Amino acid sequence: MTVLCDERIMEGGMKVVAALLWIILGATLAGVGLAIVLATPQLAAQSMKYIPWAALAGFVLAIPFSVLLASRLKLPKA
């Protein structure tokens, strides 16, 4: 059973939890990408080109991580 195809992930509050985690993880990974671009001299020379791509990559990479983390959280039943 794979985590991304598990139907329990998208039950009720799990979508909201995954979305909140995605916002936090996306901003964090985008910031890491930004730091990498600015800290690498070869990339910093063309930072206007690479910074948007690094931010986009951070938000896209955060999607599977947020779904994985949301599936592992145990939320109390209402």
Residue 18 identity (one-letter amino acid): A
Could you tell me the two tokens for 49?
A: 């080109």
Residue 6, domain member (yes or no): no
pLDDT single digits (tens) 28-62:
999 999 999 999 999 999 999 999 999 999 999 99
* Contact (CB, 8 A) for 65 and 30: no
Residue 52, domain member (yes or no): yes
Tally Cβ neighbours within 10 Å of residue 39. 9
* Residue ranges making up the domain that contains 37: 11-72
Domain count, the chain: 1
pLDDT single digits (tens) 54-63:
999 999 999 9
Residue 5, domain member (yes or no): no
Query: CA nearest 66: which of 14, 13, 5?
Result: 14
